[in-house]
């Protein structure tokens, strides 16, 4: 069973290790720690063995929450961990009266695009040459989820425990 909990400073090294495992341009432990200091929403998905299954960080900016990073360890992918983390970010935006959750995603990241669209995110526009990778630059989709009284998470989104 997975539970969501707030990230602690002691989690930052494990988060950096996970990010190195799953992304081309990983965050350092210091970057995760800085988001904690800034008061960003920093969440950990933790299985019963207290290891790290996934993490998400979002920061309030003006009238929206910006999803800065979300990642799930490969052995936990396609098991609802990313969906639960994303649902928790959306719920925070809704309970704090922000108008939207915004994110950028690589156009080649089909699994993430599928998840975001299934959760109700809409593409706003394409941002050219946003991500740098081993094969050069890649465009990003800028997407958002509109919050409000009429907004609801799409079917299958599970409420966080924390």
Q: Which residues are annotated as catalytic?
A: 104, 116
Count helices and strands (H / E) in the chain.
Answer: 4, 7
Cα 47 → chain centroid: 18
Residue 83 to residues 9, 45, 87, 130: CA-CA distances in angstroms?
24, 11, 6, 24
């Amino acid at each position: 069973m997975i539970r969501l909990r707030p990230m602690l400073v002691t989690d930052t090294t494990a988060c950096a290790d996970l990010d190195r495992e799953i992304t081309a341009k990983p965050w350092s432990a210091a970057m995760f720690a800085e988001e904690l200091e800034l008061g960003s929403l920093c969440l950990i998905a933790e299985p019963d063995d207290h290891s790290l299954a996934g993490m998400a960080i979002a920061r309030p900016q003006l009238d929206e929450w910006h999803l800065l990073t979300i990642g799930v360890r490969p052995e936990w992918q396609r098991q609802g961990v990313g969906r639960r983390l994303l649902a928790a970010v959306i719920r925070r935006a809704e309970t704090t009266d922000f108008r939207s959750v915004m994110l950028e995603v690589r156009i080649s990241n089909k699994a993430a695009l599928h998840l975001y669209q299934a959760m109700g995110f809409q593409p706003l526009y394409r941002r050219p040459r946003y991500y740098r990778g081993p094969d050069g630059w890649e465009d990003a989709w800028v997407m958002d989820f509109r919050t409000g009284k009429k907004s609801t998470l799409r079917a299958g989104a599970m409420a966080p425990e924390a």
